[in-house]
Structure 1
Amino acid sequence: MPLVIGKYGWMKGIHLLWSLSNESLTSITDSYLEQLLKDSQELHDQRYRLKKESRPNGQEQSSGPQQVHGDTANVNTEPLSQSNLLGEKPWFQSNDASVVPLYISEATCAAFATRLCQSLKGTNMPIPHLPRSRYTDESAISSSLYTDVQWPGLTALGHIIPSFHLALKKDTLDMLHGVYQRGDFDNPSIKCKYFALFAIAQVFSTPHDLSDTSSVPGLAYFAKAWSLIQVVPERPNMIHIESLLLLAFFCQFLNRFHSAYVLIGNALRLGLSIGLNYNIPQTQNLHPVAREHRIRIWWTIYVLDRFWGSKSGFPVQIHDEDIHVDPPSISASETYHDQFSDGAYQVAAIELAKIIGDTTGEIYCRKISAETFLHREQRLLTQLKQWVRSLPEHLRLSAEKPNPKHTVQMHLQFNFCVILAIRPVLLHVLTLKMKNQTKQSMDSISPILITLSEACIHAARHSLALCVNEWTGGSLAIFGYSFPAFLFSAALILMISSLLPLGDPSDLTSAETATEILKNLSLSDSLASRDLYERMQRVRQCLHDSPIYSTSALSHGPVDNVTNMLPMGEESDSESLRPHQSPNNLQSTMGPLEDLGHPLFESNVPYLTTEMALHQPTMLDFLTQSHVDIGLLDPVEMFNDFDLAFSMSST
C-alpha cells in the first residue's frame, strides 16, 4: 500500500498506524519504513526550498545545526525591530532533560548582563548565563514552620514603609488591639494577615548586622503565614486578598520571583471575582473608607504586577482596557489621613507602573507591531517626560532637605524605566564599536541613537548618585530587591559608557562604587545582592578580558588602576565602602551629588534629574518627529550573533 506524505502527511500516517491491528503492525516491512523516511525527507527539502525562495533578496539562512537551547539574535541590516532585539526563538535554559526548562526574559537585568558579556567577548563563542541560584527554597520555608514565634508588641507595625497600600492603617491597628484584648490568637485569616505584616515589619526594622547571616529576618513569620493562606477560596474577602499581597511583597526579600508572580496572580483573579476593577455603584451605600480601600487594594495589585514584571520580565497579568475603577482619591487621604497614605503618591506610582508595563510589553515582547522600534521608543519616552512633569512639588527631589525614602525609590524606578527602554540601543552602539575598535569617532552612528544612548547613561549616573546618597546616609534597604537592582542596572550602563566616546572612562570607577555597595549588601545575606554581585563580578572579568579594553582609555590615564580597586573574587582585605562614609571614588569622578560635572548636565539646575536628559535639544527633536520621519531612519542592526550556553537552574 503506497503512502503519500503531503501537507498533512504525518498526521494521516499517525492515524493510519493507530488504526492498524497488532498483526498489521508486525507486517510492516523494512522497505515500507525506508519509503516513509524518504518521503519525509523529500517533504522537508521541499519546505526548505519554498521558505528560501520566499525570503527577500535571496537572503540565506545558516545551514549549520541549531542550538538545542539558547537564543540566537540574527545579524541583519533591517531597521530596529522586535526580531533584532529578541531573536527568532524564545530563550530557555536547559541542560538537564529531567527538569522543566525555564524561560529567560530579555527584559531582566541578568539577561542583559549575559548579552553584555557576549558583546564584550567580541566572538560568537557561547557565554554561559548565570542563573538565579540564591533564593529561599521550599525546604527552608518548611523548616521555619517549626520555629517558635510569638505575637510581637503592638509597635511592630510602625516599621512598615507605606510605599504601597497594603491595608487600612487605623483599622489594622484597631483589629490588632482587639486580638490582644480578646486573646483571640487562633483565627486563621487574622493570624495569616498579621504574621505577614510582622514579617515585613521585622525585615525593615532589623539593624545592619553583618555578624548574623543565618536567615532573612521575618522568615519564621512568613512561613507561618504561608502555611495558613488558602490559595483558592470560593468566597474571597478583603483580608485574604491583603494577605496575598503582603506575602507577595515579602517574596522580594527571599528572592522568589516565581512565587511573587503567582501570589499576585491569585490576588488579581480573586479581585476580579469580587469586581475590584469596577466602581461600586453609590446605591450599594458602602462607607467611603471601605470604598476607597477597595480602590487602593486593586491599584496595589496593579502596581505590584508591573513591579515584578519590570524586574523579572514576566508579562502583565491584566491590561488597562479591562480596568474601569477610579484612581485613588487624593481627598480621601486628607479626610481619612489615619487610614490612607498620600493619594498623590499613589496616583504617581500607578501612572509610572503603567509606563513600566508598556515598556516591557512594547520593547521586550514578541508581538508583531506595525510601528518601528524607534517609534515605540519615542512614545515611551514621551510618556516618561510627561509623567515627571506632572509630579506635584512634594514628590519632586529636593536638594534643600532630605527626601522621603519612598520618593527616592519612585525616582529610582523612573530612572530604571528609562534605562530599561533604552539599554538595547546602548548595547547595539557598543556592538558597533566592537566591530571597529580603532575608531574612536561616533560619526557612523545615527545621531538619534547617540541621543538615546546619552539619555540612558544620564539616567544611570543619576540612579547611582541617589543610591550612594541613600547608602552613605544609612537608609538604603539591606534585604529588599529594588535598591540592589537599581545599583546593578546602573553599573552595567556605566561600564558600557566607559568604553564609548560618547561616555566617559571615569564612569567605570562609578560602576566599581556600585559593585562595592553590592558586595557589602551581600555580606548581610541579602540574597538578591549576592546573585547580582556574582553577575557583576563575571561582567567585570569579561570587561577586563575584552579586546576593546586594551584599546580604550581605560587601559591608561587616571583610571588605569580601576580594575584593581576591587578583587575579582569574593574575599578581600581591601577597605570596603561602609554606610556613613564618604564614597571618595564616586566623588572624585562624579563630583558632588548636586553637580555631576558632565556635559549633559545643566549646571544651573540645583538638583539633577533624568528629566534633564529628556529636555536636551536632540532628544526634544527626536520626541517631536513625525511617524514618517521615524520610519525613514537609517537601518541598523541591534545585536551581534549571540550563541548562549546555559546551566539548569531558576532565572
Structure 2
Amino acid sequence: MFRASRPKKRAIACHRCHSQKIKCSGEKPCSKCRAAGYGNQCNYATRDRKIRVDESYLEQLLRDSEELHERRHRSKQDLPLQQGPDTDDDATGNDEPKIQGSLYGDKPWFQVHDASILPLYISEATCAAFATRLCQCLSKNNTPTLYLPKTRYTDESTLSSLQDIDTPWPTLVSARLMVNTALNHVIPCFHLALKKDSLDMLQGVYQRGDFDNPSIKCKYFVLFALAEAAQAPRATSNQSPVPGSAYFSRALSLINIIPERPSMIHIESLLLIAYFCQFLNRFHSAYIYIGSALRLGLSIGLNHNVPETQDLHPIAREHRIRIWWTIYTFERFWGAKSGFPMQIHDEDVHVDQPSISASKAYPDQFADGAYQVAGIELSRITGDTSAEIYCRKISTEKFLSREQRLLTQLKQWLQSLPPHLRLNPDGTSPKHTIHMHLQFNFCVILTIRPVLLHVLTLQMKDQYNQPASPISPVLVTLSETCIHAARHSLALCVNEWTGGSFAKYGYTFPAYLCSAALVLMLSSLLEVGDPSDLASAETAMEILKNLSLSDRLASRDLYEQIRRVHECLLNSPFPPPSLATENLNVQTLNPPSVDQGTATGLLQLSGHPQYPVVPSEDLSHLILDSNVPYLTTEMALHQQNMQDFLERPDVNFGLLDPVGMFNDFDLAISMSTQSPPY
C-alpha cells in the first residue's frame, strides 16, 4: 500500500506558533500562519547547534584568520621600508582586491641627501637598493641602515673647468691609434660608428685642416677620450681626473644645441658620450643622452626600414639599422642597471635586425652580425625583467609565473647562440663573448635575487621568535640557479682580472663583480647556499678595493656597497660559520665531459680545505689551470628541478605574490618610517 511521504518535521516552531503555544507544521510559511493570513510574517529562530570538533582544528582556523587579517592590513598601509607621498589607497572606493606588481610595496623610494637638492629616486632594481635591503635584514636590534648616497662621480664644476683647458688635436699617427683603440674597445659589443669610414674621415680632417667643424670635432674628441680611458694604466693618482676627461669635456661643449634636422654623426656622438659617462659614474647623464639619441632617431625614422625604392647604399642602410639597435640596447641595459623604465616599446620598432651577410660583405665596416643579434635579444629580456619584476604596475599574474617566463626566455636565448658565441672549453674566449655571458648571468641574478632575500627572511624567522616557514622546492631551485650564476660571473671576472684584460675604468665588470658578490654573501647564510661562498665574495671585494684605490669612481661606489654588506654580515646576530676568509682557494680537478657552453678553464673559488690555498694578497700571481671545470649558469638551467619548473604549465607553489612576499621581511626588521632607507 502506497503511503504518502510526510513533510520533514522541523525541530522548532515559528515565532507566532511558539508564542500561542500551538503546534507548528514546520513549513515556511507554516499552515497555521497561512490560514490566519500571516504567511509573510512566518519566521523561525536561528538555531546555533553545538557540534564537536578537535581543538587543533579551531586553533588552526584562528591562526589562518589572524594571518589573513594582518596581510590585508599591511597591504593597505605604507610598508616600513618605503618613503613616499601620503596617498589614500581606497580613494576610488573600489573594494576589488589588487595584486601589486612591485615586490617592495606600492610607494616609490626617495632619498633626501641635502635639503637644497631634489630627492633622489632609488630603484629597487639597482645593486645599491638590494645591498640596502640585505643590510637592513642583517642589522642588529632592528637598527635602520641608511642608504649610501652615490657621491663619487665627476661633477659639473670639474667638467666646466676642463673646458677652459686648451685641448689640441693629437698628431695624425696618434689620432689614428686612438680611434682604432676606442672602436676596438666598444666593437663588437656595440655599433657606434663605421670603422673604415671613421678612419677615412679622420684622414680627410688632417688633409683639409678642418679641425673646427663642431660635429666632427665632437665625435673624434669623444673617441680620443675613450682611447685614453681604455689605455690607462692600473694605478693613477687620486687627485688626477679620469683619463680622457679633458677631451670629453670639450666634446660636451660642442653638442649643446639639439639640431632640428639631426645627422648620423650627431647621433653617433650622443651615443659615444653616453658610453663614456660610465667612466665618470654619471649614469643620470648617460640616460639623458641616450634618450636624446632615441628621440632624434625616432625623428628620422631609424625604427623603420628605409624602402628599397630609396637610393641608399647598403653600408648606409645597415649603418642606420645598427645605430638604432645600439640605441635600443643602451636604453635597456642602462635602464636595467639604473632601474629606469623603458622609453621605447617593442611594438613601436619595425626595423630589420642587423644583417650577418653585411658583416661578411663589409668586414672593415661592421662587426659580427650574430653578436649584434644576440645582444639585442638579451637586451630585450633585460628590459622585460625590469618591467616584470621591479615595476609598480598592477598585475594579475603571479610572481612565479613571471619568473618562469623570463627564465624560459633566457634559456631559449642561451640555446639559440651560435657555437662561436659560446664560451670556449679551453677558457680562451674573446673578451666580448665573456662580456655577453656576464650580462646573461647578471640578467639571471636580476630576475631571481628577490627570491633569495625572501628565502633569507623565511630562514630568519626563528631569530625573531616567529614560527619558521618551510622553503618550497621551487624556491630552493631558483635560489640555487641564482647562486650558480653568481659563482660563474665571479669566476669569469677573476679570470679577466688575472689575465690583464679587465676594463679598469669601466662600469660593467665592477658591476658584475658587485652583483655576484652580493648574492654570494647572501648564499653564505642560506641553507641552500654554501658558507664558503663568503670567501669568494671577499675575492670580489678585494678586486674592487684595488680598483677603488685610484680614480675608478664606479668601483669605489660598488666597493663601499659590498664592504657595508660584509660588515653587516659579520656583525649580524647570525653570521656565517667561521672561515679562513683571508684565503683564496683554487680548485684543480680533472675536467668532466661537458657541452661546448661549459666555461672550463676558469677559476673556481671554493672553501674546501683539500684544494691549494693562495693568499688573497697574491691574487695577481695566480696561475690559471686550463683544466679547471666550473658549473655554468647554462648547466644550472638544465638541471632537472629547473626543467620541471620551466615546463610546468600552471605555476602555483603557494603564496609568493608581490603583496605578501616581503611583508614578513618588513615585519621582522621593524624599520622606522622616519629613517631614510640605505
Using the TM superposition, give the Cα deviation of residue 56 of structure 1 relative to its aligned residue in structure 2, in angstroms.
7.5
Residue of structure 1 aligned with 2:622, choices 582, 594, 614: 582
Q: The residue matched to 1:204 in structure 2 has which SS?
A: helix
Determine the structure 1 residue equivalent to 2:550.
Answer: 524
Q: 1:270 to 1:234 in 2, by over 3 A?
A: same
Partners of 2:534 and 2:581 within 8 A in 1: no
Determine the structure 2 residue equivalent to 1:411.
Answer: 437
Residue of structure 1 aligned with 2:250, choices 220, 224, 232: 224
Using the TM superposition, give the Cα deviation of residue 230 of structure 1 relative to its aligned residue in structure 2, in angstroms.
3.5
Determine the structure 1 residue equivalent to 2:379.
Answer: 353
Q: The residue matched to 1:302 in structure 2 has which SS?
A: helix
Using the TM superposition, give the Cα deviation of residue 329 of structure 1 relative to its aligned residue in structure 2, in angstroms.
0.3
Q: 1:338 to 1:66 in 2, by over 3 A?
A: closer
Determine the structure 2 residue equivalent to 1:618.
Answer: 641
Determine the structure 1 residue equivalent to 2:337.
Answer: 311
Q: The residue matched to 1:103 in structure 2 has which SS?
A: strand
Determine the structure 2 residue equivalent to 1:391.
Answer: 417
Residue of structure 1 aligned with 2:629, choices 584, 587, 595: 595
Determine the structure 1 residue equivalent to 2:144.
Answer: 126
TM-score by length of 2: 0.77
Q: The residue matched to 2:146 in structure 1 has which SS?
A: strand
Q: The residue matched to 1:128 in structure 2 has which SS?
A: coil
Using the TM superposition, give the Cα deviation of residue 289 of structure 1 relative to its aligned residue in structure 2, in angstroms.
0.2
Deviations 1:329-370 (A, max 9, x none): 000000000100110000000000000000000000011122
Using the TM superposition, give the Cα deviation of residue 623 of structure 1 relative to its aligned residue in structure 2, in angstroms.
0.2
Residue of structure 2 aligned with 1:70, choices 83, 88, 97: 83
Partners of 1:457 and 1:503 within 8 A in 2: yes
Using the TM superposition, give the Cα deviation of residue 98 of structure 1 relative to its aligned residue in structure 2, in angstroms.
3.2
Q: The residue matched to 1:198 in structure 2 has which SS?
A: helix
Partners of 2:287 and 2:334 within 8 A in 1: yes
Partners of 1:95 and 1:646 within 8 A in 2: no
Q: The residue matched to 1:492 in structure 2 has which SS?
A: helix
Q: How far, CA to CA, are the matches of 1:227 and 1:126 in structure 2? A: 43
Determine the structure 2 residue equivalent to 1:430.
Answer: 456
Paired amino acid for 2:629: D
Q: How far, CA to CA, are the matches of 2:341 and 2:141 in structure 1? A: 32
Q: 1:107 to 1:403 in 2, by over 3 A?
A: same
Residue of structure 1 aligned with 2:475, choices 449, 463, 467: 449
Determine the structure 2 residue equivalent to 1:116.
Answer: 134
Q: Across the two proteins, how many residue pairs are aligned to each other? A: 556
In the alignment, is residue 159 of structure 1 matched against residue 181 of structure 2? Answer: yes
Using the TM superposition, give the Cα deviation of residue 562 of structure 1 relative to its aligned residue in structure 2, in angstroms.
7.5
Deviations 1:546-593 (A, max 9, x none): 1111xx4x23xx537779xxxxxxxxxx9864674218xxx9xxx988
Determine the structure 2 residue equivalent to 1:494.
Answer: 520
Q: 1:281 to 1:84 in 2, by over 3 A?
A: closer
Partners of 1:129 and 1:645 within 8 A in 2: no
Larger Rg: 2
Segment of structure 1 superposing worse, 190-199 or 120-129: 120-129
Deviations 1:454-473 (A, max 9, x none): 00000000000000000000
Partners of 1:231 and 1:266 within 8 A in 2: no
Partners of 1:127 and 1:645 within 8 A in 2: no
Q: The residue matched to 1:156 in structure 2 has which SS?
A: helix
Q: How far, CA to CA, are the matches of 2:345 and 2:571 in structure 1? A: 44
In the alignment, is residue 637 of structure 1 matched against residue 661 of structure 2? Answer: yes
Q: 1:217 to 1:384 in 2, by over 3 A?
A: same
Partners of 1:70 and 1:91 within 8 A in 2: yes
Residue of structure 2 aligned with 1:503, choices 502, 524, 529: 529
Using the TM superposition, give the Cα deviation of residue 232 of structure 1 relative to its aligned residue in structure 2, in angstroms.
2.1
Q: How far, CA to CA, are the matches of 1:289 and 1:398 in structure 2? A: 32
Paired amino acid for 2:276: F
In structure 2, stretches of 5+ residues that fail to align are 1-66, 86-96, 585-613
In structure 1, stretches of 5+ residues that fail to align are 1-54, 73-78, 564-573, 597-607
Deviations 1:297-321 (A, max 9, x none): 0000011111111211011110111
Determine the structure 2 residue equivalent to 1:609.
Answer: 632
Q: How far, CA to CA, are the matches of 1:305 and 1:505 in structure 2? A: 37
Q: How far, CA to CA, are the matches of 1:531 and 1:309 in structure 2? A: 18
The structure showing larger relative contact order (alpha-carbon pairs under 8 Å, at least 6 residues apart) is 1
Determine the structure 1 residue equivalent to 2:14.
Answer: none
Using the TM superposition, give the Cα deviation of residue 646 of structure 1 relative to its aligned residue in structure 2, in angstroms.
9.4
Q: How far, CA to CA, are the matches of 2:237 and 2:326 in structure 1? A: 35
Identity %: 63
Q: How far, CA to CA, are the matches of 2:369 and 2:333 in structure 1? A: 19
Q: How far, CA to CA, are the matches of 1:633 and 1:60 in structure 2? A: 17
Q: Within 5 A, what are the aligned runs for 1:52-71?
A: 57=69, 59-60=72-73, 70=83
Q: How far, CA to CA, are the matches of 1:316 and 1:63 in structure 2? A: 28
Q: The residue matched to 2:83 in structure 1 has which SS?
A: coil
Using the TM superposition, give the Cα deviation of residue 146 of structure 1 relative to its aligned residue in structure 2, in angstroms.
2.0
Q: 1:179 to 1:496 in 2, by over 3 A?
A: same
Q: Within 5 A, what are the aligned runs for 1:113-512?
A: 113-121=131-139, 124-152=142-170, 153=174, 154-160=176-182, 161=185, 162=187, 163-211=189-237, 214-400=240-426, 402-437=428-463, 444-512=470-538
Q: Within 5 A, what are the aligned runs for 1:561-580?
A: 577=617, 580=620
Using the TM superposition, give the Cα deviation of residue 63 of structure 1 relative to its aligned residue in structure 2, in angstroms.
11
TM-score by length of 1: 0.80
